[in-house]
């Protein structure tokens, strides 16, 4: 494999400023600068050119996975991560690299005007290099996006599962909407943790807002009840709809030892009774 000539690297170095200007112009023209501050863009473009030239000056490998390119790779990873956060798509992010091709090719054409064979070779090399760097940017962009999505999913899960304190020693978990197995698991885990944190003796799982349950979810519910008992607290399930009761019986799940109440109020009344609390109307 041919390498980039010292002349090419030299040309890059001495024309850095004009290269930077035309590159940023073409970036702006392509719309790849949306949501990116101008100062940041200039800084990033400048840093990239510096690490690119530094890596090329070290000579040796043009394989972007080589350690000479570590600094450039880190720079691009940071860049694509920040682009993902401001909501750019992968095309806009990758344009950062690909928009450099035009200005670079023009530069090389001037530099090697008299040597067409050399020009073709160097164009090919620099093009390969930029493609590899561009691909790296897209890959890390994708990874960053997936992380953002994963975090948002987790946040949503936690938001949709509030554990509330009803009374000193009584926690309630009002579940709303369709339960899938993953959500049930997360909710149940947070309920168990809250029991330890608060020292609550009784936990009420209210499923009034749950239209249906499938086998897996029903099993998760029962496992949670058992786990709560093992930890030394009691669990009451309230608001079991007729359809859900039918499902549970139909599935042959054993509800023995599970206390159920028609609604949350009844469950609270039972909890207070167990705690030895009586509620009376004043006057």
Partner 1 sequence: MTLASNGTHPVLIEQDVVLARQLVRKLAQDCGMRLIDLTKLVTAVSELARNTVVYGGGGYMDWEIVERDLRSGVRLTFRDEGPGIPDIKLAMTDGWTSGGGLGLGLTGAKRLVDEFELDTAPGQGTRVTITRWS
Partner 2 sequence: MERIPILQMGEFLLVTIQVDMHDQLALTLQDDLSERINRTSARGVLIDISALDMVDSFIGRMIGTISGLSRIMDAQTVLVGMQPAVAITLVELGMTLPGVATALNVERGMKLLRERVENS
Q: Contact residues for partner 2 (CB under 8 A)?
A: 188-189, 192-193, 195-196, 199, 201, 223, 226-233
Size, binding site for partner 1 by CB under 8 A: 5
Interaction between residue 150 and partner 1 (CB under 8 A)? yes
Report what 39 binds from partner 1, partner 2, none; CB cut-off 5-8 Å by kind: none
Binding string, residues 88-127; x marks residues near partner 1 by CB under 8 A = ----------------------------------------
Interaction between residue 74 and partner 1 (CB under 8 A)? no
Q: Choose the stretch contacting partner 1; rule: CB under 8 A; options: 7-15, 70-78, 145-153, 205-213.
A: 145-153
Q: Choose the stretch contacting partner 1; rule: CB under 8 A; options: 94-102, 139-147, 163-171, 275-283.
A: 139-147
Q: What share of the chain is helix, strand, coil (3-state, %, to 5)?
A: 65, 10, 25
If the CB atoms of residues 94 and 188 are measured against partner 2, the closer one turns out to be 188
Report what 150 binds from partner 2, partner 1, none; CB cut-off 5-8 Å by kind: partner 1
CB under 8 Å to 211, separation ≥6 — which residues?
177, 178, 241, 243
Report what 36 binds from partner 1, partner 2, none; CB cut-off 5-8 Å by kind: none
If the CB atoms of residues 227 and 259 are measured against partner 1, the closer one turns out to be 227
Cα–Cα distance list, 262 to 184, 222, 238 (Å):
21, 17, 6
How far apart are alpha carbons 228 and 238 in whole angstroms?
Answer: 16
Cα–Cα distance list, 175 to 86, 171, 210, 213, 248 (Å):
34, 13, 7, 12, 17
How far apart are alpha carbons 101 and 42 in whole angstroms?
Answer: 17
How far apart are alpha carbons 212 and 228 in whole angstroms?
Answer: 23
Q: How many CA atoms lie within 13 A of 93 on its CB side?
A: 28
Q: Shortest gap between Cβ of 204 and partner 2 (angstroms)?
A: 16
How far apart are alpha carbons 76 and 96 in whole angstroms?
Answer: 10
If the CB atoms of residues 66 and 150 are measured against partner 1, the closer one turns out to be 150
Q: Which two tokens stand for residue 281?
A: 């109307």
Tell which one of 189, 209, 245, 249 touches partner 1 (CB under 8 A): 189
Helix axes 38-57, 90-98, angle to 10 degrees: 50
DSSP 234: E
Q: Shortest gap between Cβ of 100 and partner 2 (angstroms)?
A: 51
Interaction between residue 147 and partner 1 (CB under 8 A)? yes
If the CB atoms of residues 67 and 197 are measured against partner 2, the closer one turns out to be 197
Residues within the interface to partner 1 (CB under 8 A)? 143, 146-147, 150, 189
């Amino acid at each position: 494999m041919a390498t980039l000539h010292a002349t090419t690297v030299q040309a890059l170095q001495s024309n850095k400023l004009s290269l930077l200007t035309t590159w940023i112009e073409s970036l702006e023209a392509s719309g790849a600068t949306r949501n990116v501050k101008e100062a940041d863009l200039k800084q990033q473009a400048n840093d990239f050119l510096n690490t690119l030239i530094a890596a090329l000056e070290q000579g040796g490998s043009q394989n972007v996975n080589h350690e000479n390119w570590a600094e450039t790779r880190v720079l691009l990873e940071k860049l694509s991560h920040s682009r993902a956060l401001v909501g750019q798509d992968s095309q806009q992010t990758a344009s950062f690299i690909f928009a450099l091709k035009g200005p670079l090719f023009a530069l090389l054409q001037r530099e090697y005007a008299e040597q067409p064979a050399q020009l073709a070779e160097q164009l090919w090399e620099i093009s390969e290099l930029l493609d590899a760097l561009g691909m790296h940017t897209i890959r890390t962009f994708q990874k960053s996006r997936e992380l953002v999505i994963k975090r948002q999913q987790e946040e949503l899960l936690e938001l949709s599962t509030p554990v509330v304190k009803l009374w000193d020693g009584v926690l309630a978990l009002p579940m709303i909407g369709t339960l899938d197995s993953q959500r049930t698991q997360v909710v149940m885990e947070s309920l168990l943790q809250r029991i330890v944190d608060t020292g609550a003796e009784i936990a009420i799982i209210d499923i009034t807002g749950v239209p249906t349950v499938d086998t897996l979810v029903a099993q998760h519910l029962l496992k949670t009840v058992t786990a709560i008992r093992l930890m030394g607290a009691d669990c009451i399930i309230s608001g079991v709809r007729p359809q859900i009761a039918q499902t549970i019986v139909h599935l042959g799940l054993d509800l023995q030892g599970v206390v159920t109440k028609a609604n949350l109020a009844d469950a609270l009344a039972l909890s207070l009774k167990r705690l030895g609390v009586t509620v009376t109307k004043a006057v």
